[in-house]
Amino acid sequence: MAKVTVPSVLGLSSGTAQERLHSFLLCHIGKFPFSAEGNTIATEQSPAAGTLVPQFSVVTVTYPTAGGDLPDSPAKCPSTWTMEVHIASVQVEKSGAYIGFTTDEGQVIDGIRLYRDDENQSLPRTEWMKRGAMLSLVQRAFTNGYGVLAKIEDDQIVLIKIFK
């Protein structure tokens, strides 16, 4: 997996910092400790700006706030991305099919939706054929250890290609 240089987000608001990190394919966690002078502007980040890290690494950013200690934000990662990975898991259940990836560095990205079923929806035959083809590709890649090029939009696979 490609590596990226962590940008500086110091002096930015939480939303702006998150957008900047996502543009570098990095994930964001916000910490909101109490500070009498706090104005929820980023004062610390880890890893530091200039550090070389794998894509989708988590950058933790501190935003002191006068409103008191607030819970950390959940990790938020870019919603659209394309990368080469290996299939680590395949899960098919009543609600749909999900896969997990591993990167060359061993990072696990789990719970990516291949498709989701809606019990109240009648699907056309072509949709079932597309789902079967995608699941077949995923299973083949998983069984044989093939590489996968996956494009993800909003935690759902929109394109999958396997290669040796």
pLDDT of residue 118: 72
**Is 124 domain-assigned?**
yes
**Is 141 domain-assigned?**
yes
d(CA 17, CA 7): 10
**Is 49 domain-assigned?**
yes
pLDDT at 2 exceeding the cut of 80: no
Our count of domains for the chain comes to 2
Residues 6+ apart with CB under 8 A from 72: 29, 30, 31, 32
Please give the distance of CA 55 from its chain centroid, rounded to a whole number: 10
135 in Cβ contact with 97 (< 8 Å): yes
What's the domain range around 106? 80-163
pLDDT of residue 85: 86
Average pLDDT rounded to a whole number, residues 78-94: 87
Average pLDDT rounded to a whole number, residues 61-67: 92
Closest Cα to residue 96, out of 79, 120, 113? 113
Task: Please indicate, yes or no, whether residues 23 and 95 belong to a single structural domain of this protein.
Answer: no
Predicted TM-score (pTM) of this structure:
0.62
d(CA 127, CA 132): 9
**Is 157 domain-assigned?**
yes
Residue pLDDT, tens place only, 5-16: 999 999 999 999
pLDDT at 131 exceeding the cut of 80: yes
pLDDT at 1 exceeding the cut of 60: no
**Is 67 domain-assigned?**
no
CATH code for the domain in which residue 143 is found = 2.40.50.50
Task: Please indicate, yes or no, whether residues 103 and 28 belong to a single structural domain of this protein.
Answer: no
**Is 38 domain-assigned?**
yes
